[in-house]
Amino acid sequence: MNKVRIGVVGLGRLGFTHAENIRFHTKNTNLVAVCSHSLEELTKAREKLGVTNCFKSIKDMISGIKLDAVVLVSPSKHHAEQSSYCLQEGLHVFCEKPLATTIEACKEVEKELIKRPFQVFMLGFMRRYDPSYLYAKKCIDAGKIGRPILYRGYSVDPNSSIEGALKYAAQSSGQFIDMAVHDFDLARWFLKAEPTSIYAIGGCYLHEEYKQFKDGDNVSALLKFENDAMAFIFAGRTAAHGYNVETEIVGTKATLRIGSVPQKNLVEILDINGVKKECSQSFNERFETAFRNEIQEFVDCILEKRQPEIKAHDGTRASYIAEMATKSFKNNNLIKL
């Protein structure tokens, strides 16, 4: 195989970006098909990406065109079932986070993968492919910060994108699994340990609509890990200034901060109001490079017949922590994991 033939499932807020990256920014691959429930999105893909094989269902896509791999960017509740189905069809699978919205469903995918060690499976924890996060990981692994003792992660969407977030809320399974799952993954990655307890709180501070989903518009969690390290995680939907992903890893010898002042670029605007830095307004903008890098890694893994560093089990663990955080938030109690 010289070029990987990919079909993208889901062309929404993130799916179109993945399709665009595969079409224009990934080596050794062809975007040969797309699938969406929305006719409007399929028309856009045909016009902007030149894809002629457009399908309304994943089954039609897989039976209708020869593919090597799929990139699943459908709503989270479909991830596990679609991953298993595509694996059974002999395809390599890239699945957006979270792996699934229940632990049972995560484990089903893991079981399917045990039977298929030669098919590549990759999960979309794209922050692990962002150059700054990769650099931080290198520093930690080289011992430069000593013993990591605290992970602090802020992941907040701009309030300006609340309309789309509310539209998706019924299918998101809540803030912890939808947003904080990235931080649960990074905390495990950086601290190299599993959490042993979690306590979560939060509320609807600006958007009462989240109450109907027993969710909050801003939530947070405190975790203790088996190696005694700590984590504090905050996820929200109401940042006034833009898309704010901020991470800190405190060690015994040094502290690392990534994006502690969220910024669009290195430009500073000095005007009558003082000094200002603009901020990215969306995940697509802040993690543009990471999204491209992770898809390139998926394609390289297929061509080089190897598995990516992120395993399905990492997805199961992150979903489990998120599920326990949601339970703690709803019942207002500390949970031993």
Residue 221, classed as helix, strand or coil, is strand
Taking the complex as a whole, the smallest distance from the CB of residue 332 to ligand NAD amounts, in Å, to: 26
The token pair that represents 108 in the structure block: 């089903």
Q: Interaction with ligand NAD in 173-232: which residues (CB under 6 A)?
A: 178
DSSP conformational letter for 196? E
Taking the complex as a whole, the smallest distance from the CB of residue 58 to ligand NAD amounts, in Å, to: 5
**Does 58 participate in binding ligand NAD (rule CB under 6 A)?**
yes
β-bridge partners, 153: 233, 247
Contact with ligand NAD (CB under 6 A) among 4, 6, 8, 14: 14
Cβ proximity to ligand NAD, 153 vs 251, nearer residue: 153
Count of residues interacting with ligand NAD (CB under 6 A): 25
**Does 48 participate in binding ligand NAD (rule CB under 6 A)?**
no
Taking the complex as a whole, the smallest distance from the CB of residue 294 to ligand NAD amounts, in Å, to: 9
User: CB of 220 within 8 A of CB of 200?
Assistant: yes
Listed residue (95, 200, 213, 124) closest to 165, CA to CA: 213
Q: Interaction with ligand NAD in 255-284: which residues (CB under 6 A)?
A: 283
**Does 123 participate in binding ligand NAD (rule CB under 6 A)?**
no
Segment interacting with ligand NAD (CB under 6 A) among 37-45, 104-112, 240-248, 259-267: 37-45
Residues composing the chain: 337
Taking the complex as a whole, the smallest distance from the CB of residue 333 to ligand NAD amounts, in Å, to: 27
**Does 165 participate in binding ligand NAD (rule CB under 6 A)?**
no
C-alpha 15/C-alpha 94 separation (Å) is 12
**Does 315 participate in binding ligand NAD (rule CB under 6 A)?**
no
Q: Interaction with ligand NAD in 86-105: which residues (CB under 6 A)?
A: 96-97
Cβ proximity to ligand NAD, 59 vs 253, nearer residue: 59
C-alpha 118/C-alpha 212 separation (Å) is 43
Cβ proximity to ligand NAD, 12 vs 196, nearer residue: 12
C-alpha 228/C-alpha 36 separation (Å) is 45
Cβ proximity to ligand NAD, 129 vs 190, nearer residue: 129
**Does 64 participate in binding ligand NAD (rule CB under 6 A)?**
no
User: CB of 125 within 8 A of CB of 297?
Assistant: no
Sequence-distant (6+) residues with CB within 8 A of 144 are 251, 253, 254
Sequence-distant (6+) residues with CB within 8 A of 99 are 79, 80, 83, 105, 106, 109, 123, 312, 315, 316, 318, 319
**Does 73 participate in binding ligand NAD (rule CB under 6 A)?**
yes
Contact with ligand NAD (CB under 6 A) among 4, 6, 8, 9: 9
Instruction: Please count the CA atoms within 13 angstroms of the CA of 302 that sit on its side-chain side.
Output: 26
Cβ proximity to ligand NAD, 54 vs 126, nearer residue: 126
C-alpha 55/C-alpha 79 separation (Å) is 18
